[in-house]
Amino acid sequence: MTGKTPPFAAFEWMIAWRYLRARRAEGGVSAMTVISFLGIMLAVFALIATLSVRSGFRAEFVDTILGANAHVTVYSSVHVDEGGRTSRVIDDYADMAERLSAVPGVTRVAPLIRGQVMASAHGRNTGAEVFGISAENLLTIPRVADPEQALGDITRFENGIAIGSGIARELGVGIGESIRLISPDGARTAFGTSPRISAYEVVYIFTAGRYDIDRTRIYMPFAEAQIYFNRDGVADEMEVMVANPDQIDAMQMDLLRAGGERAMLWTWRDSAGAFLRALDVEDNVMFVILSILVLIAAMNIISGLIMLVKNKGRDIGILRTMGLSEASVLRVFFICGASVGVLGTAAGVVLGCLFAIYIDQVFSFVNYLSGGGVWDPSIRGIYELPAQLRLADVLKAVGLSLALSFIVTIFPARRAARMNPVEALRYE
C-alpha cells in the first residue's frame, strides 16, 4: 500500500480538511487556525499596501520632477564680460540651442531667464522664482500645459504671466487680475541700481502637482524676462528635455561637447538623487521589517500544528497501524499548515489590492476621522498619498508569504510523521 500511494492523494486532503475544521472539543485547534490565518492575511496585506504606496510615491515624485523641470540644465561657467564683470550668462544661446538639439535623444531645448522676485497683490507679498520662456516652449512642459487643474488660457501667455496655484492662493488673485513683481536687480541709473517694479496680468494659473512648484513658480514671456532682468540678448541657462530621462547619464558627454567649452550640466538626478537614494534605503528597510512581520505571522502556524499533532496523537497511531506511511502523515499535516498559509496569503492579497485601488477613498475616510490635516503637502511635496499596484510587488509578497508558510510547516509535520505508533497508542 505504501508504494502504491500517490503523493497528495485524495484521502490525505480529506484527513487534513477534517483536522482543520475540527472543533477544540474534538481534538482540533480551530482557534489557533483562525489566528494563524488572520496573522498571515494581515501581514501580507501590510506588505502589499506598503509596497504599493512606496511605488506610487516614488512614481509620483519622479513624474512631477520630469513633468515640470528640465531633464538637464546647461549653464555657463563664470567668465568675465566686456565690462570687466564676472558673469554666467549665455551669449550665443541660439547657436547653443541648435547644437544641443542635434544631440541624439534630445527632444527640446529652451533658453531660459531665471530670477528671484517678490510678488505682491492685495496687500500680500510672497517670494517667487520667475522663469522666462517662450510660449512655444511653455506648451511642451507637461505639468504646466496639461496640469491636474488649470484656470485661464495658456494661449494668452504672451500678454501676461502664468503662475502656480499656490502663489495665486497666497496673494488672493485670479485670472485677469494683476500682480506686481519686485526685483532688487532693476534699472541701472547714475545713482546705482534701483529696484524694478512691474505689474503683469495673470492669464493662466496651473497646478503642477508639487507644492514647491505651485507655491513659488512664475512663467514670463522670454523677451519680457530679458528686459525685466537686464538680460538683453542673452540667456541664463538652457533647459533640455530628452526622450529617455533614465539614460541621462550616458548622454552627458555628448551634451557637454555640444554646449561648448564653458558648458556645465545639472541633471534631474543631481537635483533629486539624494532623495531617491534615501527612498531606496527606506524601501529596503521597510521590506525587511515587514518580512519579519510575515515570519512572525507564519510562526503561528507552527504553534497550531504542534497542538494539532499533540491532540491527534491517537489518530496518528491508528493511521500508522492501518498502513499509512510516514510520508503520508507528513503530507497530511503539511497540507494543514500550508492551507492556512495559502488561504491567508490569498485573503491578504485581496485586501492589499483593494487598499491600493481604493486608496483615495480610504485616505479621505482617515482624513475625515482625524479632522483633516493628515497629509501636509508643504512637507511631502505632493498633494495626496499615491499608490501604484505593481505585479512584481504582489508576486514578491506572495512568494515570501508562501515560502515562509511552507518552510515553517515542515518541522511539526515531520514530528507527526516520526511519531511511534506504539507510543501513541500505549495509554489508549
Report, as ranges of residue numbers, the positions in the chain whose pLDDT lies below 70. Answer: 1-6, 8, 20-30, 79-86, 186-193, 309, 311-323, 370-384, 417-428
* Predicted local distance difference test score (pLDDT) of residue 83: 61
pLDDT the model gives residue 182: 92
pLDDT at 29: 55
Q: Which pLDDT belongs to residue 27?
A: 46
pLDDT at 1: 42
CA angle 410, 411, 413 (to 5 degrees): 65
